[in-house]
Structure 1
Amino acid sequence: MRFCLERITLKLNPIYRSILLGLYGGTVLAALAPAALAQTAASATPSASTTADNGIQSVSIVGSRRVGNTSATDTVVPVDTIPMTKVAEQSGQFDLAQVLANVSPSFNSTRQTGADGADLIDSAALRGLGSDQTLVLVNGKRRHTVALVNLFGARNRGNTGTDMNAIPVLAIQNVQVLRDGAAAQYGSDAIAGVIDVELKKSLGCESVAGFGEYSRHDGKNWLASAYCGVALGGGVLGITGEYYDRGRSNRADPDSPRIIGDTKSKNQTVYLNGEFPLGPGKLYLTAGAQQRDASSAAWARGGVGSDDIPSRNSAAMYPDGFVPFINGDIDDRYGTIGYRTRIGEWASDFSQTYGYNRMRYDISHTLNASIANLDLLQGGQGVSQDNFRAGGFAFRQLTSNADFSRYYDGVLGNGLNTAFGFEYRAENYQIFAGEPNSYIDADGIGFGGNPGSQGFPGFQPADATDKNRHSAAAYLDLEADLTDRAKLQGAVRHERYSDFGSTTTWKLAGSYKLTNDFLLRASSSTGFRAPSLQQVYFSSTFTDFVAGVPTDVKLAPNGGAVANAAGIPKLHEEKSKSYTLGATWTPTRNLSFTADLYHIEIDGRIVLSGRFDADNYPALGATLQSLGVDQAQFFVNSVDTRTQGLDLTASHKMDLGGGKLNTYLAMNFSKTDVTAVHAPSSLAGYEDVLLSERERLFIEQGGPRSKATLDFDYTLGRLETDFRIIHYGPQTLGTFDGPPVPDQHYEAKTSADLSFTWAFTDRTKLTVGGTNIFNVHPTTQDPNETDNGFKYESVQFGLNGAAYFARLSHKF
């Protein structure tokens, strides 16, 4: 019975497999995803819960502190494991964020265009919340966020987040997803859930080569990736190298000077992951580095006859207009070294983790119009340099952990696991100024040409910052097997930050098997998210286009002169309450159903405010005039939100025509509402500016409120065919002009992917196929009202249309 159930669940959506398998505790989650090979439970067991000869646990299971023989599904809340084997070999997606977006209905990541730095790093989020409300771990250890703050684009505005694409897919054994609030277990950022990326450390070598392009023959993707696990010092060291070249695509109208589509990006990545016996315990290490050279097309500037001369262009340089390019040199590094051993009856784990992310801007095919205008006034041709080093920013994080766990057999029924630990985290955020010509106003404030490099003005010395903070935390985690059918888990965590004080969170969760075929589980928890250093200290002056009109905007740092003049208080943590209720039913061996409800309330959510200017807030007029800008905005704890969601799935397995057909349907319904806006006393009466209708809709409907995946996977001999239908629900976004101008409504859309895999041998496979094969696009909008100034916004599945790919994999 158990073996049959395991085989059934191999093709169940990863979000729900853990609920079903939890009916039969101790079963190791094997493989199910529309892009994952079905594997037997026996073959999956070593990677999911490996115990060394000396009894030291090798792999942490996200959501549980229990060690020993615990499986990935022996937890009281869903822990979903998405194997990457088939993804690495056969998927039409070449980067991790797009892979997960294609597999999980509750995971969203949409490539942005016309969003400056957000074009260069894809942000990702769970359960309808922001990207900085999902905690990402690597091998159970906290991974750093990026230095970038998303300022534009439909998704994750005002958020930082984790760059999932900095990790090569071939380096990954599986991705574990804890779909429950877990701040009491893991600390800040875990309001929406936790994603744990487990890296490979198995013997053997494999390689993948891939190519893809859109149906318009642009956006060409080239992938070359290799992994090799070698025996070393009695253990295994896994080494992965990857080169990924993504070409630029362009969906702008033929007569438009703009470029709208994917950024150009070249990634060079190396990752190491190993574990080695040392004395009475095991030494483990992870190290990774990625160098990314990316290029995004900014808004076009007009030529002769337009209002952009001399304010934003020079007739001598670009008489027909031009498109500036925002080029990002992104350096990402990650490393962990740790030691697991036993101290008496306690399993212990000591580790040090390092994370670093830096982005430097180089703006090309551009000019500083004020320099060009000054040159013209002085008798020159009216030119400036066309390339500028515009500065950038960096974020560094050091995390020290000491974790202890012990299982007491027979306590509180069938056994009690007790865990406690300590964490110390130090963070640093820097903004470094660009070269003077990237920001100066050479011909005088308010006269002639505008200052700075067009496309992205350089960071000024006044923007430069170098700020530090640290935090210390202690937690206690208890997990009890009350009976053969009932489990209970509780956790409490106290965390103190050097910059805003302390917070205490808790969690209580449990599960109960009503029958062998029906399981109920539920949880209740509080959570928090500390304001990121990026949100506290980011400072920049940039040009935005509002309904096609260029506007100079100051994003003022918290505690700075502009924020103080507006009465913006010091940022503090977001606080949350989370509730979940799940159930699963397996009426037959080949058919199963699951459901999961969640409710999340967040108080004091940190948002990027609307734009304040001399008209809508006269008290700021003189300050803005002295800075030579039109508008200002800030980060502020001013919004309360409520997110409610439902996940449903049905899975079926059958023999058909001599082959195997696995079918599954997975759906996510999620709704986020702003329940209150709390303006600082100085801004009382300006709530509509603080959070405009447009900004409110970005929070509530930045991602689709529903998403469904229907997958048919059929294997006959050496041929495997996968047909996947992905349905995206409607979205509504605001407009620049607001009422009475109607909101932008995006109709529900359905995309389809199709692939064919031929196994020449058990080691060599070729996959060919297409994504979005019916060339579906988002609903057309008025370009004057969209955030990217184009008729297609970067929503749902993006705006590029159909794509085709081929991928060849070989194991040595």
Structure 2
Amino acid sequence: MGIKHTQLSLAIAALGLAGSFWSGFLWAQDTVPTADRSDDKVTRLEGVIVVGSRRYDRGSDTDTAVPVDIVPMTKAADQGASFDLAQTLEYTTPSFTSVRQTGADNADSVDSAALRGLGSDQTLVLVNGKRLHSTSLVNLFGARNRGMTGTDLNTIPMLAIGHVEVLRDGAAAQYGSDAIAGVLNISLKRSQGCEAVAGYGQYSRGDGKNYIASGYCGFGVGDDGIVALTAEYLDRGRSNRTTERDPLRIIGDTAVKNGTFYMNGDIPFGDTAHFYFNGGIQNRDASSAAFARGGLGSDDIPSRNSAAMYPDGFVPFIDPYVQDRHVTGGIWWRWNDWRIDASQTFGYNKLIDTIRHTLNASIANYDLMHGGQGISPDHFNAGGFSFGQATTNLDFSRYFDDWFAGTNVAFGSEFRHENYQIHAGESGSWIDADGPGGGNAGSQGFPGFQPVDATDKNRNSWALYGDFEVNWTDRFMTDQALRYENYSDFGSTLIGKLAGAFRVTDTFLLRGSLSTGFRAPSLQQRYFSSTFTDFISGEPIDVVLAPNGGTVANAAGIPKLTEEKSRSGTLGFTWKPNDAISVTLDGYRIDIDDRIVLSGYFGTDDPNIGAILEGLGVGSAQFFVNSVDTRTQGLDLTVNHSMDLGAGHLDSFLAFNHTTTEVKRVHTPPSLVGREDSLLGERDRLFIEGGAPRSKAILGFDYTLGAWEADLKIIYFGPMTLGTFSGPPVPNQHYADKTSADLSITYNFNDNMKLTVGGQNILDKFPTRQNPDETDNGFMYESVQFGLNGAAWFARFAYKF
């Protein structure tokens, strides 16, 4: 199976339309201005690619054929209010979305990130130009990224990062699967010297205490080499915004402790070769609160509680232990003017859950029935999952300055091996000790993975690509790319891309692109299997998420997963009339066919699988299915200005994104005709269309006066609409637009030491209140827009030595 011939023809035919499209490169001053330009200046280094182009010999003023934002991280790591990368980008890049979830099980502990209103698994993440592995987690709950995997940006310390390149364009033809919405390239720091940062913050209500301590050292090696090491410890405290309506609930930030070590190196040997490496290790201890179980007088005894253990009710805690590993090693060298790059990347992510302050109600009830007090163990190893990825790349690139006005030729290959495993929990975490009709099986909060869930699956893929960047004249260039990929589990695909740039004047540049793309179904989506408790309109129900291709999915008529296919285009301009001001504007459209979604609920009344579900002792089933065609359209605008003001200097910027996603069609397999609402009901459709604000804008002012610096950001979050459990005639959940603000003051004691104090969400804004029985997290505030914790303050101290 592969992308339709009409889609490929579109990309090839677009070669004849090159004169209508254009592009340029958006440098740091075109996205996030900074007070200290020398610190945040992006240095172009041999072997570190600017995402979106495969030409390696660029100067700092070279244009590429697609819109790329370069977001410097030096100031954010020293002075920023956010202590992790995902939240930093959330408040600096309007096209980027990452909202901390709460009441969403393991999704509370892993922040997924996405671009341009699409899903976290439709954004590719690179580190120094090489693919970074995704997490092993599949998001099952929460307002964002349901049914998707993603990449955890918070496994990389901000102090280790030089800048982040945000490619706002479909790039699967250049980089392969997952790059439908765009690409994030994390460029690691490689400066010499040492620095340290310590920070503290908390919410204005006194909880959510955050501590961070980071250290970085870069050592010169040889004439042009570097070895850089970064260590970080982060302790994020739990917050709680519960009310008297449900005093047992704990609703807010998950408690997280991260220990991270990262390295980055480039060591020359001989006259024309370099050995390079980078990688990191992170161990994460987290703790999220599940829904509360009632005590005496509630319906939860004996089904979900024991009077002998928790007579007043209890809140189970889901405590994942996450291990994340990443390493890349490679060699690049020059041969007859060709630059050859051979590399190997390994990535691994493992999450194992401990469920504590809990019980297995069936064990407690069995104990009571046999003369005991009604006691169960209060903690269990519930098992978990892991994902490993090994990627081998061989790339060739050469610039021919005598072909037209200059031509870059690049081609190469990639081989990738992936492994996904589900690890069963201890028997007490899933066993049904007293049989049907008594206490519910498994650990409350999150039942453990059963032996029948355990899996160990592999797949391979290989790819060939070609990329030709042609400067036809000094003012007009095009970039053409083709890529062929073959996957062992679903077949092959061929995709293409054309981008172009035309400099109308020295200050005005037109840019645009057309491309086809794809996203392979993740192994996590194909093979995830679990039985868990969901809360629907405040009522618990046991749900089985059945693996694709398994007995339950086949009986329900769910077809085998295949790739998502996309067609996308961008059109825009950059304008820099003088050194003080710059403007960029880019429109885009992304059509995705056969998008993979997590289905709605199939109940015991389903004619195909109702009897099977009753035999399993569960009330509903869900599946992953290619069932949706969507269209995403949007606009990105940035305006930047720099001027002297009084005795100081003012940098200002406005960044705006508007995105709409619409479900154009729902594919219903023949066996499911008439049950479209179970496949994708109104609530699930709105998670796709409205899971992120349609608009987001950031207006920033940075003023420096001697040793002092003031930074003010005003952030606008547009309205959102999410569905309800009850459905019509109950109205949907409408979230009004909100405007927040961040403010900080920095004092530079000298060139090497600074102190920053400030606040986030200083206006103490919250999302629109909702009926808790209709929200996904069972609380009056859903985790949307900017979260539900209110105002916070922070302090940072940075020292270079």
How does the TM-score come out when normalised to structure 2?
0.95
Find the residue that maps to 1:695 and give its secondary structure: helix
Find the counterpart in structure 1 of residue 16 from structure 2.
none
Residue pairs, 1:340-355, within 5 angstroms:
340-355=332-347
> Which 10-residue stretch deviates more, 652-661 or 209-218?
652-661
Please tell me the residue identity of whatever aligns with 1:265: V
Residue pairs, 1:311-350, within 5 angstroms:
311-350=303-342
Find the residue that maps to 1:682 and give its secondary structure: helix
Runs (5+) with no aligned partner, structure 2? 1-21
Find the residue that maps to 1:243 and give its secondary structure: strand
1:235-282 deviations in Å (ceiling 9; x for gaps) = 211000000000000001045210000000000000011010123410
Equivalent residue in structure 1 for 2:580, among 581, 590, 595: 590
1:450-478 deviations in Å (ceiling 9; x for gaps) = 00000000000010000000000000000
> Which 10-residue stretch deviates more, 387-396 or 196-205?
196-205
Residue pairs, 1:2-21, within 5 angstroms:
none
Given that residues 751 and 774 in structure 1 are in contact (C-alpha distance below 8 angstroms), is that contact kept between their aligned partners in structure 2?
yes
Counting aligned pairs with the same residue, the percent is 64
Please tell me the residue identity of whatever aligns with 2:434: D
Find the counterpart in structure 2 of residue 13 from structure 1.
none
Find the counterpart in structure 2 of residue 716 from structure 1.
705
Query: Does 2:253 align with 1:258?
Result: no
Between the aligned partners of 1:225 and 1:585, the Cα distance in structure 2 is 39
Between the aligned partners of 1:741 and 1:158, the Cα distance in structure 2 is 25
Runs (5+) with no aligned partner, structure 1? 1-21, 51-56
Please tell me the residue identity of whatever aligns with 1:49: R
Between the aligned partners of 1:381 and 1:572, the Cα distance in structure 2 is 52
Equivalent residue in structure 2 for 1:544, among 524, 534, 550: 534
Please tell me the residue identity of whatever aligns with 1:62: V
Between the aligned partners of 1:604 and 1:71, the Cα distance in structure 2 is 40
Find the residue that maps to 1:796 and give its secondary structure: coil
Equivalent residue in structure 2 for 1:134, among 123, 128, 131: 123
Please tell me the residue identity of whatever aligns with 1:334: H
Query: Does 2:348 align with 1:359?
Result: no
1:508-551 deviations in Å (ceiling 9; x for gaps) = 00010111221110100000000000000000000000011100
Find the counterpart in structure 1 of residue 11 from structure 2.
none
Residue pairs, 1:46-445, within 5 angstroms:
48-50=43-45, 57-71=46-60, 73-232=62-221, 235-254=225-244, 256-279=247-270, 280-411=272-403, 413-445=404-436
CA pair 662-232 structure 1, distance change in 2 beyond 3 A: closer
User: How many residue pairs are counted as aligned between the two chains?
Assistant: 777
Once superposed, what is the RMSD of the aligned Cα atoms? Answer: 1.4
1:171-191 deviations in Å (ceiling 9; x for gaps) = 001101111000000000000
Find the residue that maps to 1:196 and give its secondary structure: strand
How does the TM-score come out when normalised to structure 1?
0.94
Find the counterpart in structure 2 of residue 780 from structure 1.
769
Query: Does 2:520 align with 1:522?
Result: no
Between the aligned partners of 2:317 and 2:297, the Cα distance in structure 1 is 23
How far residue 73 of structure 1 moved from its aligned partner, in angstroms, is 4.9
Given that residues 642 and 673 in structure 1 are in contact (C-alpha distance below 8 angstroms), is that contact kept between their aligned partners in structure 2?
yes
Query: Does 2:612 align with 1:623?
Result: yes
CA pair 635-751 structure 1, distance change in 2 beyond 3 A: same
How far residue 90 of structure 1 moved from its aligned partner, in angstroms, is 0.3
1:281-311 deviations in Å (ceiling 9; x for gaps) = 1000112000000000000000000000000
CA pair 356-706 structure 1, distance change in 2 beyond 3 A: same
CA pair 32-754 structure 1, distance change in 2 beyond 3 A: farther
Find the counterpart in structure 2 of residue 479 from structure 1.
469
How far residue 650 of structure 1 moved from its aligned partner, in angstroms, is 2.1
Given that residues 213 and 803 in structure 1 are in contact (C-alpha distance below 8 angstroms), is that contact kept between their aligned partners in structure 2?
yes
Between the aligned partners of 2:518 and 2:579, the Cα distance in structure 1 is 41
Find the residue that maps to 1:421 and give its secondary structure: strand
1:679-707 deviations in Å (ceiling 9; x for gaps) = 11111121121000000000001000000
Between the aligned partners of 1:572 and 1:695, the Cα distance in structure 2 is 20
Find the residue that maps to 1:372 and give its secondary structure: helix
Query: Does 2:753 align with 1:764?
Result: yes
Between the aligned partners of 1:428 and 1:606, the Cα distance in structure 2 is 20
Find the residue that maps to 1:604 and give its secondary structure: strand
Query: Does 2:495 align with 1:534?
Result: no
CA pair 735-110 structure 1, distance change in 2 beyond 3 A: same
Between the aligned partners of 2:273 and 2:332, the Cα distance in structure 1 is 5
Please tell me the residue identity of whatever aligns with 1:89: D
Given that residues 33 and 83 in structure 1 are in contact (C-alpha distance below 8 angstroms), is that contact kept between their aligned partners in structure 2?
no
Find the residue that maps to 1:760 and give its secondary structure: strand
Between the aligned partners of 1:184 and 1:24, the Cα distance in structure 2 is 19
Between the aligned partners of 2:445 and 2:470, the Cα distance in structure 1 is 57
Find the residue that maps to 1:308 and give its secondary structure: coil
Find the residue that maps to 1:515 and give its secondary structure: coil
Equivalent residue in structure 2 for 1:462, among 452, 462, 470: 452
How far residue 58 of structure 1 moved from its aligned partner, in angstroms, is 2.4
Find the residue that maps to 1:367 and give its secondary structure: coil
Given that residues 168 and 183 in structure 2 are in contact (C-alpha distance below 8 angstroms), is that contact kept between their aligned partners in structure 1?
yes
> Which 10-residue stretch deviates more, 685-694 or 221-230?
685-694
Find the counterpart in structure 1 of residue 680 from structure 2.
691
Equivalent residue in structure 2 for 1:452, among 417, 439, 442: 442
Between the aligned partners of 1:527 and 1:721, the Cα distance in structure 2 is 43
> Which 10-residue stretch deviates more, 662-671 or 776-785?
662-671
How far residue 588 of structure 1 moved from its aligned partner, in angstroms, is 4.3
CA pair 73-676 structure 1, distance change in 2 beyond 3 A: farther
Query: Does 2:793 align with 1:793?
Result: no
Find the counterpart in structure 2 of residue 17 from structure 1.
none
Between the aligned partners of 2:226 and 2:654, the Cα distance in structure 1 is 38
Query: Does 2:628 align with 1:639?
Result: yes
Between the aligned partners of 2:325 and 2:61, the Cα distance in structure 1 is 28
Between the aligned partners of 1:216 and 1:571, the Cα distance in structure 2 is 46
Between the aligned partners of 2:479 and 2:559, the Cα distance in structure 1 is 38
1:314-352 deviations in Å (ceiling 9; x for gaps) = 000000000000000000000000000012221000000
How far residue 618 of structure 1 moved from its aligned partner, in angstroms, is 2.2
Between the aligned partners of 2:58 and 2:579, the Cα distance in structure 1 is 26
Equivalent residue in structure 2 for 1:509, among 486, 492, 499: 499
Between the aligned partners of 2:221 and 2:32, the Cα distance in structure 1 is 35
Please tell me the residue identity of whatever aligns with 1:730: P
Find the counterpart in structure 2 of residue 669 from structure 1.
658
Find the counterpart in structure 1 of residue 27 from structure 2.
29
Residue pairs, 1:738-753, within 5 angstroms:
738-753=727-742
How far residue 410 of structure 1 moved from its aligned partner, in angstroms, is 2.2
Between the aligned partners of 1:68 and 1:710, the Cα distance in structure 2 is 34
Between the aligned partners of 1:177 and 1:171, the Cα distance in structure 2 is 17
Between the aligned partners of 1:654 and 1:93, the Cα distance in structure 2 is 27
1:576-605 deviations in Å (ceiling 9; x for gaps) = 000000112334442332211000000000
Given that residues 23 and 517 in structure 1 are in contact (C-alpha distance below 8 angstroms), is that contact kept between their aligned partners in structure 2?
no
Given that residues 782 and 791 in structure 1 are in contact (C-alpha distance below 8 angstroms), is that contact kept between their aligned partners in structure 2?
yes
Given that residues 30 and 582 in structure 2 are in contact (C-alpha distance below 8 angstroms), is that contact kept between their aligned partners in structure 1?
no
CA pair 36-585 structure 1, distance change in 2 beyond 3 A: closer
Please tell me the residue identity of whatever aligns with 1:364: R
How far residue 664 of structure 1 moved from its aligned partner, in angstroms, is 1.4
Find the counterpart in structure 1 of residue 13 from structure 2.
none
Find the counterpart in structure 2 of residue 39 from structure 1.
37
Given that residues 48 and 72 in structure 1 are in contact (C-alpha distance below 8 angstroms), is that contact kept between their aligned partners in structure 2?
no
